[in-house]
Structure 1
Amino acid sequence: MKERLINVAHNLRGLRVAKIGSYKAYVLMGGIFALAIVLAIGAATFAVRGIEHVVARDAHAVLAESEIDWAEVQTDGLLLTLRGEAESEAARFRALSAVSTVVAAERVIDDIQVAPSMEIAAPRFLLEILRNGLDVSVIGLVPTSLDTDGIIARIEAIDPEISVVNMLETASHPVPFGWDRAVGFGLEALASIPASKISISADQVEVTGLADSARQRDEMRDKLMRQRPRGLIASINISAPRPVLTPFTLRFVIEESGARFDACSADTSEARTAILRSGRAAGAQGIIDCTIGLGSPSPRWQVAATESIDALGVLGTGSVTIADTDVSLVVPNSVSAEQFDRAAAELERQLPDVFSLDAQRLPPPDGEGLDRDGDAIEFVASRDSEGIVLLRGHLTDERLRDAVYSMARTEFGLNAVRINARLDPDLPGGWPVRAMLAIDTLAQLEHGQVRVRADRFDISGVSGDASASDTISRAVAEQLGRGAVFNLNIRYDERFDPVAMRPTPARCEAWITEVLEEQQITFDPGSASIVSGAGRVIDKIAEILRDCGRLEMEVAGHTDSQGRLETNMRLSQQRAEAVVAALSARGILVSEFVAEGYGPEFPVADNSTASGREANRRIEFRLLGESAAEATQERTGDAPDTERDAAETPDEADLEIVVTTGAGEQPRPPERPER
């Protein structure tokens, strides 16, 4: 039993040794496998790192070749990630396309950020208004915040019958600087020109329009230039079509005082040049005008006009009048019969076939043309400088006297007409027509006289219309008919011309100076209180400034030399400010007025005398800034060249007034010396 137990123990011991040996083998094999795994992983990792390096290198190369320096490349195994900020979607797509040549597109991870785009620029706002009488169309792109209803309402307020078609579009962007003033000026232009196109942007307004006449064109242009806001570029193009002249009239006169055109019409610029050249050759001097218009009775008008003027130039005195196709040559008795007959025959031969000539050599004066009392048989209508009209002379009957009197009162006012006419039924034929024509002609003169006789019609006086002589000649020739003898002596005076005397900065300054020369603005002694009597002076100045519109002006206060300098300086400043305040109280726009006190520094008289000190205590008005520059240009503007060749004058049909002004730097007038 014991042996059996010993054998069992030996067997168990052997079995334990065997198990221990087997376990060691297992451990050894596990270690080998673990080492193999580690080696495999290391090899795989090394291989992946190599692949990532190659991919990154190639990706950087293609990006550099494409000049893409903003992109960053990161690799993760077979995956490639692109990072960075692209300036646009196009740049982002270009970078992705470039690296897709290195790795497959499905293994590229897009982590690119696109830079936010810049704020979209505001569009150019443009408002265009087209007007044809009562039909208005409004087109363009305007800010959403613009009061379009207000604009339409302002247009409709021009005329109750105006019809407005609104085709405006809006955009939600801020209103550009200057837009409101540009729109305001454009609407002012629209109200002034019935046929126009107004293009409005924030910094510029373009006005294109059509006027009925050259005079209206000038009035429109001048009005708009006065209304133009400072700093706004304004392009104003207003054209006037050729007028229709009825009848087509030319009248050339040679007298002892010289030669002149009383009326001149031409159908082309070439005809105008030839006619004026003939007039100068016959003795006409100075600035000569000849209206180019429609209505010529013949394409050979130029020939008839130049030949008629040349014939009168040969005779040396008299007049030649052409009304449509009727030519009237009238010379005094001082021209010899032989010379007259030769010149008349030659003119008749040279005239185109459609024209007919009536040549008269006036007889010597005798006793004819007198009534029973020895007075001249005539009717005279005269108007003095005060506007009083006197009608005197001979009329056929009471009906004609009443008609003449009523017509004159209608033209000149109920209380301005005086009549002292004698009735004579035996007056020459056509007397009523001549008497009524005398009233109508006198109405075109500021003051003057129209004398009606059996053999002639004499007109003399002053007019504020530079074309009055031409207009009156045409009317007289049409009313009196072929062969009428009439004489005109009409002087143009720009003081009565509303266009020539329009309020300009220079004129406004001069008008104010004239008012102050008549009576100064005075103050209570030692005070800035304006005396009651000086209120009338300020009223006159305010009336002038209302018509002058926007002006930059200095209101300067001056004192005499008595008293302390500091006190005088302060007092002069207060007085200047008091005048500005008084003008403002009268509704005058004084936002661009400057009140300045100069004390006794600029005397105009001797302070040692009482009268000199009184003269030195004064208020002065002086233009500043752009207003002063405009006045300087007006005063120093080029005078018309009286010797210029008429050939340089453009055809009125193509004439267009173009005025472009802007906010450019203007020369400033000399400043006062520093105190």
Structure 2
Amino acid sequence: MRLKTIAAFSIAAVLSIGGAWISAGLIEDRSSEVVTSKLIDGQHDWTTVTTDGLLVALGGEAPDEATRFRVVSAVGTVVDPDRIVDNMDVKAREKIEAPRFSVEMLRNGEGISLIGLIPPFEEGDGIADQLKDVAEGTGITDLLETANYPVPENWDNALSYAIQALRDLERSKISVMADLIEITAISDSPESKRRIESQLARSAPDGVRLLLNISAPRPVITPFTLRFTLDAEGNAAFDACSADTEASKARIIRAASDAGKIEKPECAIGLGVPSPNWTKAVEVAIAGLKDMGGGSLTFSDADVTMVALDSTSQGTFDRVVGEVDAALPEVFSLHAVLPEKVVVDGTGNDAVVEFVATRSPEGLVQLRGRLPDDGIKKIVGSFARAQFGSDKVYLATRDDEDLPESWPVRVLAALEALGTLESGSAIVQEDYVEIRGLTGDKSASDTISRTLADKLGDAENFEVNVRYDELLDKTLNIPTPEECVSRINTILATSKIVFEPSSSDITEEAGRTIDKIAEIAKQCERVKMEIGGYTDSQGREEMNAALSQQRADSVRAALMARRVLTSNMTSKGYGEEDPIADNDTAEGREANRRIEFKLLTDARAAATDEDETDAPEVETETSSE
């Protein structure tokens, strides 16, 4: 009986355990199905579901923390939240890229505006702080924001450059990034535009692209002047040219090209044209000058002066003048001159009645020839001293009371024209004025022609022979010969040209130094320079002399390969001569192994040429240096 009771209890226990196990399995399966269905409906099928009894374990990689929270919340709506085991991972967040720092700076008469995103500055070093003195009296609108990220390469150099540019440009907009600077500005004149562009380009930081948009307003040309010359051989030139539109400019240049051989004709576009028929009048007059066989043509507003060659026949002169006068549009008046043969003495002596002013390249001015009386002499002297400097004028004229009444005006106009030249001469005669010389101003010929046309009046015969020299052009900021050599040697002082041991082969690092030197040398191609090579005192003297010559030659060849004109450069090896440090120390020997650039005077250059011609050939020998 007792055994039966124990067996009954055992069977009951087994049945209970089995029932519980089956119930738990059913619960697990049901929970998995419900949770999985919920996740699929919520588009979270990336999640894995594992059940362990009443517990529901969630796995997988959530794209972000918010999605992970949404999955747990969704599962919590179908099972008890206490039964959820969160085993999900969250996808690693990608590294946040640093923002692109940029600044836009605007300056006008109302002040300065700053907007953009920049790295943080140290206290007191901000952009607005650096521009306080510039904005004095107007103010600065500072809308800059900062972000604490690493400062990109070239950012500091680009920003410093842009701040300086804004200080120099009163009306400008400058956009700055680490690799790009865009500058939009307005200049006062075409000359100012060229100067600004040159200065900005030369001072731009390395590694930063520079975009310039400098505009110059159309100038007011007064008087509206055009001067065209044509010689007997058919060579044509504009001493001055004015047009009111691009189309007008094209028509005038085409008329000049049809009349004679003309090189690189230019015509200024400006305001002040005296008549809508300006272009037609110029075309008619130029064609007439060609028909006459040559001479000069001057337009000063609506006054037209045509001066024939002194070899022109009277019949041809009369015919052409009549035809041109009849063809000119209304408003324009023609004055024609058939001159006597002009004899220019140019000394101010008694041979020809004339006044002569000369200006040397050093700025010294001599005034010779004839003036009406002492009163006019004082006026001319005062004008010249005001124009050229009181200590640079030498007055050596004589009185001539028979001079024409217009003589003082002609002399003062000639001196004003001479003041636009770096050097040259002005010759004044009763029926002729001549201006010759050198200038660094591309518009000097226009200015002189306009001055003479305005001051001398109608029917005047004058000649302008002015040559432009870019070395004299201050707007180009071309360095002087001394500055050329100094700038190159400054580069060499901080970054030597290094060669392979016992060789004239330039190292890759030294090649970058030569790149910098080449940029300066391109601005100094007319300067006579010597490339000197030096060694230390180790090794035989003859061997060192030969090696230093080879290295100097290598530098010259490297510059030539960088498109530098080297015809004015010579190379010379000095060997162990002229040490600049102690050859008994390693540091001293390193300093003595060098390349130097020297300025050659004309005399020294000639001597160098003779040395190269007479020098015996040196046999090349390998050095241990």
What's the counterpart of residue 585 of structure 1? none
CA contact (8 A) 2:186 2:216 kept: yes
SS at match of 1:279: helix
Counterpart CA distance in 2 for 1:60 and 1:291 is 83
Shift of 1:43: 1.0
Partner of 1:388: 364
Name the residue aligned to 2:599. none
Following superposition, the deviation at residue 170 of structure 1 comes to: 1.7
1:350 counterpart residue number: 327
Match of 2:250 among 273, 297, 314: 273
Is this contact kept in 1: 2:545–2:576, CA < 8 A? no
2:480 and 2:28 map into 1 onto residues whose CA distance is 85
SS of equivalent residue, structure 1 residue 362: coil
Kept in 2: contact 1:400–1:432 (CA 8 A): yes
Separation in 2, partners of 1:145, 1:229:
20
Amino acid at match of 1:278: A
Q: Which residue of structure 1 lines up, in the alignment, with residue 271 of structure 2?
A: 294
Letter in 2 for 1:362: P
Q: Does 1:237 align with 2:213?
A: yes
CA-CA distance at 1:448 after TM superposition: 1.9
Does the 8 Å contact 1:555/1:595 carry over to 2?
A: no
Structure 1 66/169 Cα, relative in aligned 2: closer, same or farther at 3 Å? closer
Aligned to 1:216, which of 186, 192, 197?
Answer: 192
Is the partner of 2:249 in helix, strand or coil?
A: helix
Report the number of matched residues.
Answer: 537
Q: 1:508 aligns with which of 484, 499, 507?
A: 484
2:580 match: secondary structure: helix
Match of 1:139 in 2: 115
Q: 1:207 to 1:505 in 2, by over 3 A?
A: farther
Q: Tell whether the 8 Å contact from 2:541 to 2:576 is kept in structure 1 after alignment.
A: no
Aligned residues of 1:127 and 1:141 also touching (Cα < 8 A): yes
Distance, in Å, in 1 between the alignment partners of 2:423 and 2:56 is 102
Report if the CA contact (8 A) 2:532-2:574 is conserved. Answer: no
**Residue aligning to 1:417:** 393
Post-superposition offset of 1:95? 4.6
Would the alpha carbon gap of residues 76 and 215 (structure 1) be closer, same or farther in structure 2, given more than 3 Å must change? same
- One-letter code of the match for 1:166? D
Distance 1:427 1:502, change over 3 A: same
CA distance in 1, matches of 2:34, 2:149: 48
* Distance in 1 (alpha carbons) for counterparts of 2:183 and 2:124: 20
CA deviations over 1:72-95 (Å, ceiling 9, x no partner): 323254553323441214543675
Change (3 A) 1:555 1:231: farther
Structure 1 residue 155: deviation in Å? Answer: 2.6
Aligned-residue CA RMSD (Å): 4.6
Q: Deviations over 1:102-126 (max 9, x none)?
A: x458687362443453443322211
Equivalent in the alignment of 1:51:
27
How much has 1:499 moved relative to structure 2?
A: 4.1
Distance (whole Å) between structure 1 residues aligned to residue 419 and residue 72 of structure 2: 90
Q: AA paired with 1:261?
A: F
Q: Tell me the equivalent position of 1:315.
A: 292
Q: 1:563 aligns to what?
A: 541
Equivalent AA in structure 1 for residue 431 of structure 2: D
Code of the aligned partner of 1:312 = L
Q: Distance in 1 between matches of 2:386 and 2:293?
A: 42
Match of 1:578 among 555, 573, 580: 580
Q: Say whether the 8 Å CA contact 1:82–1:108 is kept in structure 2.
A: no
SS of 1:298's equivalent in the other structure is coil
The reply to whether residue 177 of structure 1 matches residue 153 of structure 2 is yes
Q: Is contact 2:580-2:591 (8 Å) kept?
A: no
Instruction: Please give the alpha-carbon distance, in whole angstroms, between the structure 1 residues aligned to 2:187 and 2:534.
Output: 45
What is the letter of the counterpart of residue 486 of structure 1? F
Match of 2:307 among 325, 330, 336: 330
Deviation at 1:251, TM superposition (A): 0.7
Structure 2 equivalent of residue 451 of structure 1: 427
Deviation digits for residues 248-292 of structure 1, max 9, x if unmatched?
111111234632111111111222121112112211322221112
Indicate the SS of the match to 1:120: coil
Contact 2:385 / 2:393 at 8 angstroms: preserved in 1? yes
Q: 1:56 Cα deviation (Å)?
A: 2.7
CA contact (8 A) 1:192 1:220 kept: no
Q: Which amino acid aligns with 2:329?
A: P
d(CA) in 1 for partners of 2:327, 2:595: 74
Secondary structure of the 2:405 match is coil
Question: Could you say which residue in structure 2 is the equivalent of 1:225?
Answer: 201
Deviates more, 1:394-403 or 1:103-112: 103-112
Change beyond 3 A, Cα 1:566–1:298: closer
Q: Which amino acid aligns with 1:138?
A: L
Alpha-carbon shift at residue 189 of structure 1 (Å): 2.1
* Letter in structure 1 aligned against 2:541: G
Code of the residue aligned with 1:295 in structure 2: it is G
2:448 maps to which residue? Answer: 472
Matched, 1:83 2:59: yes
The answer on whether the counterparts of 1:78 and 1:107 sit within 8 Å (CA) in structure 2 is no
Asked if 2 retains the 8 angstrom alpha-carbon contact of 1:569 and 1:598, the reply is no
Q: CA deviation at 1:321?
A: 0.8
Report the CA distance shift for 1:485/1:605 in structure 2 as closer, same or farther (over 3 A): closer
Alignment of 1:127-206 (within 5 A): 127-132=103-108, 135-146=111-122, 149-157=125-133, 163-206=139-182
> Among residues 451, 454, 461, which one is paired with 1:485 in the alignment?
461
| 1:361 corresponds to | 338
Report the CA distance shift for 1:489/1:569 in structure 2 as closer, same or farther (over 3 A): closer
Write the mapping of 1:390-409 to structure 2, written as runs, cut at 5 A: 390-409=366-385
How far did residue 200 of structure 1 move?
1.3
User: How far, CA to CA, are the matches of 1:613 and 1:133 in structure 2?
Assistant: 69
Q: Name the TM-score, length of structure 2 as normaliser.
A: 0.73
Q: Are the counterparts in 1 of residues 103 and 118 from structure 2 also a CA contact under 8 Å? A: yes
Rounded Cα–Cα distance in structure 2 between residues aligned with 1:189 and 1:426: 59
In 2, the alpha carbon distance for the partners of 1:598 and 1:451 equals: 50
Seen in structure 2, the aligned counterparts of structure 1 residues 130 and 426 have a Cα distance that, compared at 3 Å, is: same
Give the structure with higher Rg (CA): 1
Q: Does structure 2 retain, via aligned residues, the 8 Å contact 1:73–1:80?
A: yes
In 1, Cα distance between equivalents of 2:149 and 2:487: 47
Question: CA 1:382 to 1:124, structure 2 compared with 1: closer, same or farther past 3 Å?
Answer: same
CA deviation after TM superposition for structure 1 residue 48, in Å: 2.1
Offset of residue 183 of structure 1: 1.0
Equivalent in the alignment of 2:601:
none
The TM-score, its normalising length taken from structure 1, stands at 0.68
Contact kept? 1:156, 1:162, Cα under 8 Å: no
1:288-317 CA distance string (max 9 Å, x none): 211122222222221111111111011012
- Structure 1 spans left out of the alignment, 5+ residues: 1-23, 514-540, 580-592, 617-672
What's the CA shift for 1:216? 2.1
Name 2:503's counterpart in structure 1: none
For residues 479 and 407 of structure 2, what CA distance do their matches in structure 1 show? 44
> 1:472, CA displacement in angstroms?
0.6
CA distance in 2 between partners of 1:61 and 1:577 (Å): 90
Distance, in Å, in 2 between the alignment partners of 1:134 and 1:614 is 71
Q: Is the 8 A contact 1:556 1:576 kept in 2?
A: no
In the alignment, is the contact (CA less than 8 A) between 1:318 and 1:332 conserved in 2?
yes
- SS of equivalent residue, structure 1 residue 285: coil
Corresponding position of 1:532 = none
SS in 2 for 1:75: strand
User: Is contact 1:86-1:92 (8 Å) kept?
Assistant: yes
- Residue 586 of structure 2 is matched in structure 1 by none
Give the residue type in structure 1 aligned to 2:300. A
Supply the distance in 2 between the matched residues of 1:162 and 1:351 (Cα, whole angstroms). Answer: 54
